[in-house]
Structure 1
């Protein structure tokens, strides 16, 4: 069902399960059941919420479909930074600012 994608992108974005739960609105218990494989067929709305935060589409959860990577929205990035800003070092904050200001 693409559990590896959730784990991969959660790690790539530096999110804990608790943070992904908070940002997506999916309860931590439900998220943990999905991540452990205990829930074999999660609700569509639950997957949409997780996918939105991770910058993925529902197709990314389908192991048989072509993989297309969607970029996170501005709101997703803003939520991620706002929920983690106190954890960032000064160097990480400066790196984020440099990235945002770059022309690339």
Structure 2
């Protein structure tokens, strides 16, 4: 698998169009199309933005690793993925890569309490 395949896979898994991804990343739709066809590669800054957008490690995005290791704690990674799939919880993804499961649980509990008001 190459970067272009990984990008397309991540985009499709998220269920968004090329145009939507382009808007969210601040690039042109044609750039996304060229990335996915392997005709063009993004610069380093855009790669970082794409990795952050999909909540994956840069090495995963570049197909240097088979699984994303954005979070160093595997339990935190599992919990983060569950929360990532919930739109109201996406604020957690501004957190540090060194977040532990307990860190994420505490923030989630705070957010739940805030949502009850």
Structure 1: unaligned runs, 5 residues or longer? 78-100
TM-score computed with the length of structure 1 as normaliser: 0.59
Seen in structure 2, the aligned counterparts of structure 1 residues 15 and 45 have a Cα distance that, compared at 3 Å, is same
**RMSD between aligned alpha carbons?**
2.7
The structure showing larger relative contact order (alpha-carbon pairs under 8 Å, at least 6 residues apart) is 1
Seen in structure 2, the aligned counterparts of structure 1 residues 76 and 11 have a Cα distance that, compared at 3 Å, is farther
Which segments of structure 1 move beyond 6 Å, counting only runs of 4 or more? none
TM-score computed with the length of structure 2 as normaliser: 0.53
Query: What aligned pairs does 1:1-104 form with structure 2 within 5 A after superposition?
Result: 1-39=2-40, 41-70=41-70, 71=81, 72=84, 74-75=90-91
CA displacement at 1:65 relative to structure 2: 2.9
Corresponding pairs, count: 77
Q: Deviations for 1:25-52, whole angstroms, at most 9, x for unmatched residues? A: 122121111111111x420111122222
- Which one has a bigger Cα radius of gyration? 2
